Structure 1
Amino acid sequence: MTSTLEAPEEPATTPAAPPVPARRRRPRRLGLRDRLFLGVIVGIPLLALLIFVWLPALASFALSFTSWDGLSLSGIDWIGWANYREIFTNYPPFWPAVQHNVIWLLFTALLPTPFGIFLAYQLDRKIRFTRIYQTAIFLPMVLSLAVVGLIWEIIYNPDNGLLNGIIGAASPGTHIDWLGDPDLNLWAVLVASAWRHTGYIMILYLAGLKGFDPALKEAAALDGANGRQTFLRVVFPALKPVNIVILVVTAMESLRAFDIVYVLGGGIGSKPGMELLSLLITDNIVGETSHIGYGSAIAVIMLLVSLTAICTFLVQNFRKDKEEA
């Protein structure tokens, strides 16, 4: 009797079912209330920007080609490029104002800005009483430039001011007129402006340092780098976006300097040694003798210079970032 061993039958394998494609969620359509809400929160700022920024800028551009005393619309005379030719050739305060704006920019970029960065780096090292130091240094930034000007006007007072009292020059025969001397008044105003600008730069850079990866500092310390080398070779290059913001802010602050000079200079009418483009614009538009065409032409020149400098700087940096990527 022979028996055959039958191999066990393999279970039949069923083909795997094809994956069910996930349903794409249709984007939710905005209802009428959502559209109205977005229109309000976007439209109101755009409308305010148009009314308070772009329309006055366009009006200044148009008025720069006219001669108008600001009294009646019938007195507007179209004179073409005459205001610009007059400014560049026969308007004496213009070139000293340009020179003083350049001095303001260089002074702000070379002294208070690096000092603010230095303070931010030191306060980021978790020293004792950091909060107190931050508050004390940032306090001038909380005050308006007009209040800062009043404070420094008391300090610079030639008769009973704090500065002359400290250096022993408060007597009538030896006192120093810090704001009346054309050789000193611009530098006195620059010191007052730097007092406020330093705290602003410190806060901006301190915010950037808070987001910096501490592991990079530890790696640099393991490689033998000291504090100065770590900052210059590791921290400073890594905070390039913050550096760009600080440079743009410094340039804008230097170009639009007005409040503190207006207070320390005694109001409308630029003192010798204190001429700035912003003051020339005010003197010509709201001064005793209104030359709105001159003032508008200077405002257009100032706008073009600031836009050209800032846009060129930003385009170059963005182009470098694309090349590195």
Structure 2
Amino acid sequence: MSKVSTTRRRRHGGGLKLSGRDRLTLVLMMLIPTLVAAALVWLPAIASVVLSFFDWDGFEPLAEAKPVGARWYKEAVTIYPAFWPAIHHNLIWLVVMFVVATPLGIFCAVLIDREARHTKFYQTALYLPVMLSMALIGFVWQLMFSRDQGFINAFLGTTIDWYGNSRYNLWAALIATSWRQVGYVMLLYLAGLKGVDPSLKEAAAIDGASEVKTFFHVIFPVMFPINVVVLVVTFIDSLRAFDLVWVINRGVNGLELLATEVTRNIVGEAQRIGFGSALATIMLVISSVFIVIYLRIVLKEDR
């Protein structure tokens, strides 16, 4: 007996009629991921927005939390000393990811796509950091930036505290995170390059275009969906950068970021859950703007 007959599928009115078991399977396949996403993402996000309007220390009953309106938001932008430095550092993080890490990733993808000798080795070497967590990358680069036993100080003959000195620690963290980001961008663009129609390159070569002009005027515009994904992912990753910085010095002494300030106020010594939730809500709003832009572009392309 065939699969069609066992699942009792049959053509009816030009459509495919599913059995009750098949409908139950489809419902479960949609319902379970939705419930997991709601429990782990949406409900905590909604709870953060709600708590941002209350004064709650996390110990007293939630029903006794005192409403404070928009007090925490006003305090964040006017009184809290680490807010604007954190915004500034997040912007620097974003610029470096766009100006340095992304072009390097594209360059590596183009070189590997040429299928020269040992490309598999280089592709694996560049992608290996992507498989590591940012916390582990922070420990790995600590071996490079250590003041006493670090490779960089040994090579330069200096004793600079790269992770502890506020003049250098942000740039040291950016070097470490760029090491990972280059491999991630390379992988995305390498996949995009493999999907480009070879006839486009051939037509550009017949017209006498150089390889550089062919890439920027023909291939790069064709990879528009990849460009949008890299743009959005890079922005969101730069905004929520946390693991590496927390490993270095818990986001103090010149390394303040929005994500570290959220953690410090919610689970740190301050225990100002309402204020930390307000900072988290600000991050959520900023991220949502770019997510909406991404969805509009994707939907427009689909149409």
TM-score range, shorter chain: over 0.9
Asked if 1:139 corresponds to 2:128, the answer is yes
Structure 2 CA distance for aligned equivalents of residues 36 and 315 of structure 1: 32
Residue number in structure 1 paired with 2:83: 94
Asked if 1:229 corresponds to 2:203, the answer is no
Deviation at 1:314, TM superposition (A): 4.8
* 1:1-325 alignment, distance < 5 Å: 25-73=13-61, 74-169=63-158, 175-265=159-249, 267=250, 270-312=251-293, 314-315=295-296, 321=301
Deviation at 1:224, TM superposition (A): 1.1
Larger-Rg structure = 1
Structure 2 CA distance for aligned equivalents of residues 25 and 126 of structure 1: 51
> What amino acid sits opposite 2:148 in the alignment?
D
Structure 2 CA distance for aligned equivalents of residues 119 and 194 of structure 1: 13
Deviation at 1:27, TM superposition (A): 2.3
Bigger proportion of residues as helix: 2
Q: SS at the partner of 2:271?
A: coil
Deviations 1:54-98 (A, max 9, x none): 111111011000011100215411111111111111111000001
Deviation at 1:33, TM superposition (A): 1.0
Could you tell me whether the CA contact under 8 Å between 1:69 and 1:75 is conserved in 2?
Answer: no
> What amino acid sits opposite 1:57 in the alignment?
A
Q: How many residues align?
A: 292
Structure 2 CA distance for aligned equivalents of residues 44 and 55 of structure 1: 15
> What amino acid sits opposite 1:304 in the alignment?
V
Structure 1 CA distance for aligned equivalents of residues 293 and 171 of structure 2: 29
Name the Cα RMSD after superposition. Answer: 1.7
Structure 2 CA distance for aligned equivalents of residues 58 and 243 of structure 1: 30
Structure 2 CA distance for aligned equivalents of residues 312 and 297 of structure 1: 23
Deviations 1:16-74 (A, max 9, x none): xxxxxxx9744232222112211221111000111111111111011000011100215
Are residues 279 and 177 of structure 1, via their aligned partners in 2, closer, same or farther at CA, if it must alter by over 3 Å?
Answer: same
Structure 2 CA distance for aligned equivalents of residues 75 and 90 of structure 1: 26
Could you tell me whether the CA contact under 8 Å between 2:232 and 2:290 is conserved in 1?
Answer: no
Could you tell me whether the CA contact under 8 Å between 2:98 and 2:234 is conserved in 1?
Answer: yes
Q: SS at the partner of 1:110?
A: helix
Q: SS at the partner of 1:28?
A: strand
Structure 1 CA distance for aligned equivalents of residues 228 and 78 of structure 2: 36
Deviation at 1:110, TM superposition (A): 0.6
Deviations 1:156-191 (A, max 9, x none): 11011111111111xxxxx10101111111110000
Structure 2 CA distance for aligned equivalents of residues 261 and 30 of structure 1: 52
TM-score relative to the length of structure 2 = 0.92
- Where structure 2 has 5 or more consecutive residues not aligned to the other structure, the ranges are 1-10
Are residues 28 and 234 of structure 1, via their aligned partners in 2, closer, same or farther at CA, if it must alter by over 3 Å?
Answer: closer
Structure 1 CA distance for aligned equivalents of residues 169 and 56 of structure 2: 33
Could you tell me whether the CA contact under 8 Å between 2:53 and 2:69 is conserved in 1?
Answer: yes
Q: SS at the partner of 2:17?
A: coil
Deviations 1:213-242 (A, max 9, x none): 111111111111111111111110111111
Question: Which stretch of structure 1 is more off in the superposition, 183-192 or 24-33?
Answer: 24-33
Residue number in structure 1 paired with 2:7: none
Structure 1 CA distance for aligned equivalents of residues 161 and 206 of structure 2: 55
Structure 2 CA distance for aligned equivalents of residues 160 and 24 of structure 1: 74
TM-score relative to the length of structure 1 = 0.86
Deviations 1:126-156 (A, max 9, x none): 1111111100010100111111111011211
Deviations 1:266-299 (A, max 9, x none): x4xx312100000000000000120001100000
Structure 1 CA distance for aligned equivalents of residues 206 and 156 of structure 2: 48
- Where structure 1 has 5 or more consecutive residues not aligned to the other structure, the ranges are 1-22, 170-174
